[in-house]
Structures are given as structure tokens and as C-alpha cells.
Chain A
Amino acid sequence: MAAQANDPAPSEPNHARRFGALWLIATAIALPVAIFVIGPIIPPGNASEQASGQVTDSTVLLAMATPVLMLVVCYLIYAVAFFRQPRGGALEGPQVRGDARLQTTWIVVTSLLVLSLAVYGSVRLIVGNGAGSGSGPTPLTVPKGPKLPVQVIAQQWQFTYRYPTYGGVETPHLYLPVDQTVELNVTSLDVIHSFWAIQLGVKADANPQVNNIAFVKPTKVASFEIRCAELCGIWHGGMHDTGHVVTAAAFAAWIGQQQRTFAPATKVLPPYSKTYQPEPTRRGG
């Protein structure tokens, strides 16, 4: 900050330089920790392309937030350590009311930081085809190549899944083939739910009479956790499930078995549709 003319103590150290050094050192230590130690362990992990993308995005945001965090935290520490009132003293600080250059710099720097964040986030969202989040009935961008459509039907308090390309079979289990882009069509039969496949980095609200599409491409054969992420009544906490990503061959075997098991049920189900007329709401939820 600008040098003060009415400085009462000419022997005072150069605070700006000392604080700047402290901030640089702290950032130099914290930034690699943030990127290389915290970054890789940020959930949701690397079980799908979308999850890996979110981890990258989180790491970028963390790398941009770390210098800001260090700036204010180091400043607080520095100020508390050096800008004190001596015990029992009644000293007054310098009468400085602002610094136009510093304020302008701050506005420019924070604006650039924020704009770059917004541009980065938008690019990642569009290039990532919604990055695993529910993108409405007509997503702006759609992944190239063949997609396996899976319908997620939420109701109080469970998820069921329909595979329209496999005779519209409806099952209480979610199996997905690895390395295959999946188009999740999420809808609800009663209140608002939210389908959250935690390790896959997928979250899409299930709205009654709305088809909310999210894309995901699992990259690892593994199980993943499914939870409802929107308050939907008393058993909201109990609305969870385990999904599985399996090899293409295992998926083919599993879906064939499901088709046989649920063949009687499939016959009486309403025909596959993007949304379903919800039951009349009733009390007791």
C-alpha cells in the first residue's frame, strides 16, 4: 500500500514486502499440496469419465482458490501478529482512507479470476455434455456414438430402472456395462427426488412428468452407491441402493436373466414412456 506521510515510527519494517514474502511462501507450499495431495483424493473419483472430469474441475478450482485463501489467512495472521495495540496503549493508526491504485488492481484481478472461472466452467459443462448432471429433456450437447438408454424411475422411496432397448424390462437393480455411454432418463412418479450415483459423478433431479437426461460413461468395473439427494419424505434417508458397473458380457448375461425373471411383470407394465402420469397425491408421506 502507499507509503504514509504521517508515519509515526520511521523505524517500522516494510510490512508490504514482509507480508508479500509470507504470502508467496505460504502459497508456494500450499499450492502443490492442494494440487498433488488433496486434488487426487477429491471425490467422486475416477469410476466414470464424468467423475474424473469433476475431479479435474475441482482441482482447478482448488488451485485458483488456494492463493486467495492464503492471502486472507496470512494477512489475518500477519495483522494479528504485528498490527497490535500495545498493552494498555491508546495509539491511533495512520489515517488512510483508501488507495485508488490498489482498489483498481483488486477489482481488475478479481474480475479476471472470476471471468476465467466462469468461462472454464461453461466450457467444461458443454464439452462434458452436462458433466453428469441432469440436463433437462433436451440437452444442449449429446455425446457422440451409440448410447444405452436407461430410465430411472423414482418414487417414495425407491428407484426402479427400465431398459427400453431390452423390451422395456423394469428391475429394482441398476447394472451398467463398462466403457459404454449411458443415457439416464430420470423421472418421478410422485414428489421430487434426485438420483445420485455417487462414485459415477451423476446427479439428476427426478421430477414428476419431466424427463431429465444425464449422460455417464463408466470406465471401471466396480460397484457404486446410489442415494436420493432431494428431500422426499420420511424415508428419504433410507432411499439408497447399490449399482454395479460390469463387463459387457456380464451385462448381457444379467439383462437376459432380468428379462426372463420379470417377463410376467413386463407384460402388465404401462408401455415405456419418457414420463408417467403420477398417482394422485395423498397424505401420509
Chain B
Amino acid sequence: MSSTTEPAHNPIPIRRPLWRRLIGFNLLTALVLGVGGYYLGWLIGHQINGHSYKYQAKTGENDVALLLAYFFGVAGFLVGLGFANYPLSRLLGRPASLREKEDQGIGRYFGLCTDHKVVGMQYLVGIGLFLFIGGLNAMLIRTELLHSTPTFVGPDKYLALVGMHGTMMIGMTTSGILGPFANYFVPIMIGARRMAFPRIEALTFWLLMAAGFILTSTIFFGGFPTGWTGYEPLNNQAVMGMDSYIMFFALVGISMTLLGLNMMATIITMRAPGLTWSRLPIFVWSVFATGVLMVLAAPMLVATLLMSALDRTINTSFFIPGGGGSAYLFQNLFWFFGHPEVYILALPGFGIVLELLPVFARKPLWGYRLAISGMLGVSLMSFFVWQHHLFVSGINADLRPFYMLSTEIISIPTGFIFLCVMGTLWRSRMSFTVPMLFCLGWTFNFLIGGLSGVFLSDAPVDTTLHGSFYSMAHFHYTIMGGLIFTFFGAIYYWGPKMTGLSFNERLAKWHFWLMFIAFNSTFMPLFAVGLKGQPRRVSEYTPGLHGLNVWVSISAFVLGFSMLIFLWNVVQSLIFVRRPAERNPWRSKSIEWQVPTPVPVNNFEQIPVFDSDPYDYGVPAIGPGPVQPASAGA
């Protein structure tokens, strides 16, 4: 963003004419090739499937054509960005170009760039854009629920909104912390100059962007009626908009797998000398645990969606009961991914909170090893709980005590995180900065989310709660109250480092308080709404719940307004006011605050050597933990 202040690394800046610069591997070419690929796929799909019975019977619907169009469109998009250059030149025996990293202008933010800091910024803006779309969907959903009968958008568009909101939010928040903040800060925190696989790092981002556009395009194909879970056989019955869901989640799954793999490889192999596992910042640990989950869980999703796509296109019947398949199979496969997925959403939040608290509490992180075992315990356990989503489904009903036990056991490692938070705050010297407020907000929200989950894990009580607004309120407490609060905390904390500019603190505090109050005012009543008998994803509910629903909708609009305050703060601080940030505004001892702002392309002139963890607070006489690189003081 503030690239103008960067020292010129390029000794010979080449200024080519504008028309010449537009030709080459860039976003424009990518869009042209993407659209071209889309129509190519569409054409091939109609050649293949244009005259078949299935095509005719479905009033012009052609899933083969749409899926091929998406596939070729994404391929063209990636080729246009230049992702084929490196493998092709290696295949042809030519030296690999490393040109991606040398470009220094603002243009590098709009194309394939292998600088992990650029990718981090790209992620932040790109994910922010799609989270905004998902948030707008939520506003429309709550507008519809102002009435107890479908009047505003109608039941079909309502379901399309619900599906798009849920899918977009899940898909984007999955990379919500790992994409922007882990890509940006993990290499710096571990004293590395780059990620282990920089091109794959860029690929994960552009895959996610392609996926986001594909999901948004579902509105042109009628949307999809299944919500984010995509249950069969409703999935098979749905119109072409369903293919957007399948393609979106498949791309997100691939992006997640690669992202997790890249994080694991980086953290395992690229730590600087002295940075042992027991000195690793807790945020890096949380990223590692999340990476493990991503690599193990996301491929399951991709495989499941492939089977779904085959069912929809070439009439296999993996999931179609009438054809010998099983709808239970989809539920099993989906939740085997789906439950680790919710911990993929929760774990980075744990990491952010535990990373930020010591800075603002001016105390070392309390119970570092306990926190690590908590995160790893959650990761491990999350693979043994998935059938608690199916307590009333009739599948393996006799195994319910086991899944009840495993689900409740997972609250033990989660409890470790709370103990570490409380221990760190004990007799601390808290200053209530904006990032700190978001961390404290997380503590309250995730507590409610966790405790409400205990009720859901109890099979007898779950009979009433399952599939109701109660479970919806529960997971919004853990994902929005958990992850999104830490997401904003991380923006306010690391934003000055990433942009070199500081936020308006008054607006930021308004943002926090309004968001915290409106969030609780929105989702707390939904526990009652669910208990009183409102199922999820309905556009029609019993008139007796009208009052509560109106209250929730109005709170949701206030919640939406708090996001506008944030947006205004971003626009004002980063575009109009542009007040430079202090070098280390939080007096943090972590290494990312010791390197200059903006961070040089290669992060460090000399690889730093670590001799402690970064939580050496509490003894003012002793200097910062890690030995600083020679350039850090500049």
C-alpha cells in the first residue's frame, strides 16, 4: 500500500508505455483468458451434452456445460496471471524466471506476486470484499425475517441468499486469519525471508478469488437451495446454481489444502537458528495446528464434491437413494470435513488472542505449553466428533454415547485456552487498546459459544436444539464472535505494521463497542428463538416469534452499521488522513515489530538468531527477546 516510500531495489526501473504494460501476464490477461475459457467450456459442454435426454428433460439446464465452463474459466484465469510460466519453463529446460518478486510498483498487488507480504495484503482486501458480500446477504436475510411470512424476496430467493451467505462466509473465513495474517507474519515471526512455496502461496489466493466470483455468479443460475451443507439428494435436485456451490467449495478446498501444506512446510523447515519449537510464537503454533487440520480435512471435501458433481452430470448415484446410493454417505463425508472445518475457523482465533494478550497485559504468556497442548488436542479430537451433527438422523444411533463423549472431551483442550487467557490477565497491567478490546470481546463471545455447545453435544437435549436457530446462534458465537472478532483485533493490531499508517482510534472504539453490543443483541435472543421452535433457514415462522425476530433484525442492522464504521475508518485513515504509524505503537517484543516499516522485500538483511520466546514482558530492565537483525534499529 505505501509502496511509494520504499527504497528502490530495482537498479534499472523500466518504464514501458502503457499499452505495452497491458500485454503480458497480468490481471487483465487473466480476466480475458478467464472469460474465454468460460465460453470454451460452455461450448464443449453443449457439444457433449447438448442432445442428451437429461439436458432436454431439464428445460435447458446443462450442468456439464457449466462445470466445464467454470473449470476452463479458472484454468484460463490462472494461466493469464502467469501461473503456468514457471512449470512450463522448467519443463522446457529453461531457467526459471523469478521476475514476480522484483516488481516493486503498486501493480504487484494486482497480479501474481510471490512476496508473502503482498499476498497477505491481497488476501486481506480480497477476503474483505467477499465477506462484505456475505454480510450484505445477511442483511437481506434479516430483512425478510422482519415478517413471519415470505414477503420481501420470496422463498426461493431467500434460500439462495441463505446458501450464499453461509457458503461465502465459511469459505472465506476459513482463510480469514491464515490468508492475510499468517502469510504476512509467519515468515517474519520465524525469521524467514519467504514462505516455503511462494508460488503456491500466490496460487492459494487467486484460487480463492476465482472461487469467490464463481459463488457470486450463482445468482445468474438460480442460486442453490441447500445452504452451506449442500445435503443430498436436495443437491441433486437443485438447479444449475448448485454447480457454482460445488465449484466454489472444491476450489476453496484445494486452496485450503495448499495453504495448510505451505504453512506446515514453512514452519517445520524455515525457522531461524535458535527458534526451537518451545520458543515459537503461539500464533505460529495455532497456524501450524490449523494447517494440519486443513491438509487432513479439506481433501475430503473436494472428493465429496467431485462425487456430487458426477451425480449431477453423468448420472452416477453415490448419494441418490433411488439409484442404490446413500444420502447418509454425503452427510458422513461432508461432516468429516465439516467438523474439523469449524476448528480450522476457531484455532487461528485462539492464536491471535494468546499472541496479543501478553502485549497489552505486559506479562508473559501464561501456560505456553498448556496452550499448545490445547490447540493440538483440539486438532486431534476434531476428527472424532463429526457424527454429533447427525444425532437425530438415525444413522449409527447406538454410537451416540461415543460421539457425545468425544464432543464433550473436546471442551477440555478448549478450556486450556481459557485458563491461559485468565492466567495471562492475572495481576497484569492491561491497557484497553482496540486490539485488546477485541480480544476481551472474544473471551466473552467464545465462552457463550462454547457453553451453548455443551447443550448441543448432549444427545437428549440436542433433540430439541438440532437444526434450530439455537445451533445457528451457537456457531455464530464461535465463528463471528470468535474468529471475526479476532480478525478485527488482528487488523487493528497489525494494520499499522502492514500499511505504515495508523487508524483513527476513536472510530475504532466506536466500531468495537457497537459491534460487540449489536452482536450479542443479535445472537443472544436467537438461542431463545431456536428453543421456542424456529428451524434454521426458514422464511416463514410462527407469528408468536415475530417480536423476537424483529428485535434480532434491528440488532443485525446495527451490527451491519458497525461494519460501515470500520470501512469508513479504513477509507479515512488509509486514503485521506494517512497519519504515519509509530514504529512499534504497542511496545511489542515480537520480532515483526523490530523490522522496519514497510518490511523490506527480503524481511531481514541477516537472518536473526533467537534466544527466547517473544513474551519476555514483565522485566523492563531486560531488552527485547529475539536478537535483532542489524538493520532493525534503522
| Contact assessment for A126 and B362 in the assembled complex, using a CB-CB cutoff below 8 Å | no
A residues 208-252 touching B (CB-CB < 8 Å): 208-210, 212-213, 225, 227-238, 240
Closest 5 CB pairs of A and B: A95-B618, A237-B538, A212-B394, A131-B460, A237-B540
Give the number of A-B contacts (CB < 8 Å).
Answer: 326
Known: A133-B391, A133-B392, A203-B467. 20 other contacts (CB 8 A): A65-B454, A69-B447, A75-B425, A76-B444, A85-B429, A85-B430, A92-B617, A106-B419, A122-B404, A136-B395, A191-B233, A194-B467, A203-B392, A229-B536, A230-B231, A231-B229, A236-B159, A236-B535, A238-B155, A283-B58
Q: Which residues of B contact A90 (CB under 8 A)?
A: 587, 620
| Contact assessment for A192 and B234 in the assembled complex, using a CB-CB cutoff below 8 Å | yes
Whether B355 is near chain A, meaning CB under 8 Å from some CB there, is no
CB distance from B44 to the nearest CB of A (A): 22
Q: Which residues of A contact B404 (CB under 8 A)?
A: 118, 121-122, 125
With A234-B155, A285-B238 in contact, do A137 and B363 touch (Cβ < 8 Å)? no
- Which residue of chain A is the closest to B440 with respect to CB atoms? A76
Q: Which residues of B contact A283 (CB under 8 A)?
A: 57-59, 61, 237-239
B401-423 interface mask toward A, CB cutoff 8 Å, 1 = contact, 0 = none?
Answer: 10011001101100110110011
Whether A181 is near chain B, meaning CB under 8 Å from some CB there, is no
CB distance from B151 to the nearest CB of A (A): 12
> How far is it, in angstroms, between the C-alpha of A210 and the C-alpha of B447 when the chains are bound?
38
| Contact assessment for B364 and A97 in the assembled complex, using a CB-CB cutoff below 8 Å | yes
Whether A114 is near chain B, meaning CB under 8 Å from some CB there, is yes
Q: Which residues of A contact B422 (CB under 8 A)?
A: 72, 75, 79
Q: How many residues of B contact A (CB 8 A)?
A: 102
Whether A135 is near chain B, meaning CB under 8 Å from some CB there, is yes
- Which residue of chain A is the closest to B443 with respect to CB atoms? A76
Whether B25 is near chain A, meaning CB under 8 Å from some CB there, is no
Q: Which residues of A contact B36 (CB under 8 A)?
A: none
Q: Which residues of A contact B467 (CB under 8 A)?
A: 194, 196, 203, 229-230
A58-86 interface mask toward B, CB cutoff 8 Å, 1 = contact, 0 = none?
Answer: 10010001001100110110011001110
Q: Which residues of A contact B431 (CB under 8 A)?
A: 84-85
Q: B residues touching A (Cβ–Cβ < 8 Å)?
A: 57-59, 61, 150, 155-156, 158-159, 225-227, 229, 231-234, 236-239, 320-322, 327-328, 361-370, 390-398, 400-401, 404-405, 408-409, 411-412, 415-416, 418-419, 422-423, 425-432, 440, 443-444, 447, 451, 454-455, 457-464, 466-468, 531-533, 535-542, 587, 615, 617-620
| Contact assessment for A131 and B459 in the assembled complex, using a CB-CB cutoff below 8 Å | yes
| Contact assessment for A122 and B401 in the assembled complex, using a CB-CB cutoff below 8 Å | yes
Q: Which residues of B contact A194 (CB under 8 A)?
A: 392, 466-467, 535
Whether A177 is near chain B, meaning CB under 8 Å from some CB there, is no
| Contact assessment for A57 and B426 in the assembled complex, using a CB-CB cutoff below 8 Å | no
| Contact assessment for A278 and B321 in the assembled complex, using a CB-CB cutoff below 8 Å | yes
Q: Which residues of A contact B321 (CB under 8 A)?
A: 207-210, 278
Q: Which residues of B contact A72 (CB under 8 A)?
A: 418, 422, 443-444, 447
Q: Which residues of A contact B234 (CB under 8 A)?
A: 191-192, 231-233, 285
> How far is it, in angstroms, between the C-alpha of A208 and the C-alpha of B320 when the chains are bound?
9
Which residue from A44, A91, A114 sits with its C-beta under 8 Å from B464? A44
> How far is it, in angstroms, between the C-alpha of A191 and the C-alpha of B230 when the chains are bound?
12
A187-213 interface mask toward B, CB cutoff 8 Å, 1 = contact, 0 = none?
Answer: 000111010101001111101111011
- Which residue of chain B is the closest to A135 with respect to CB atoms? B397
Q: Which residues of A contact B225 (CB under 8 A)?
A: 231, 233-234, 285
Q: Which residues of B contact A201 (CB under 8 A)?
A: 463-464
| Contact assessment for B159 and A208 in the assembled complex, using a CB-CB cutoff below 8 Å | no
With a 10 A CB-CB cut-off, give which of A131, A132, A282 has the most chain B CB atoms.
A131
Whether A140 is near chain B, meaning CB under 8 Å from some CB there, is yes
